[in-house]
Structure formats: structure tokens, C-alpha cells
Amino acid sequence: MASGRLAVILEQEYESKGLVSGTISALQKRKREKSDIRNILFGGSGITSLIGKKVFGRGYSATAKGNASSKVKDASSSVSGSLSA
């Protein structure tokens, strides 16, 4: 399953970076996900996992819920639109 998660991170990194830098970045992000203490202790789906996530917050995730680059594009287009008006 780890290779599937790494593949998702790689796809996200390849969109914004090149082959080598995207691979290095994805490997670093996956390592950070695996070593985050919140993910280690509360990564499951049981009741203690739910309580732990509620108390300590979610663990590190390399993939954002929304695409960060689209947020930047939306913000820049709204700024440029307000400047031209």
C-alpha cells in the first residue's frame, strides 16, 4: 500500500516539478508522512484513533485536500482582475 501512496504523491509532484526534483521531493514527503508521530499513533480507524485525531489534530499529509497550485492561480486571477478594474 505504501507504493500506492507514493505513486499519488509522485503524480502531484510531477505536475509542478521535473522528474528528478519531483522524485526527491515525493520521497521526502512520504518519509515525513511515515515518521509523523500522529500518523504512527493514530493512523488506524478505531475509537482511539478518532479520539487521538480529535485531541492532537491530523497527522502530516503530503497531498493537500485542494490543489495548492489552483488556489494560487485563483488568487492571482482575482488580484489581477481587481487591479484592471
14-65 per-position pLDDT tens digit: 998 989 999 999 999 999 999 999 999 998 888 989 999 999 988 989 887 6
> pTM surpassing 0.85?
no
Residue 73 lies in a domain: no
- Work out how many domains the chain is built from and give that number: 1
Residue 71 lies in a domain: no
Residue 68 lies in a domain: no
Q: 10: domain range?
A: 2-60
For residue 64, what pLDDT is reported? 75
Residue 75 lies in a domain: no
Most distant pair of Cα atoms in the chain: their distance:
53
CA pair distance 24, 28, nearest whole angstrom = 6
| Predicted confidence (pLDDT) at residue 68 exceeds the cutoff of 80 | no
Residue 66 lies in a domain: no
| Predicted confidence (pLDDT) at residue 75 exceeds the cutoff of 60 | no
For residue 1, what pLDDT is reported? 45
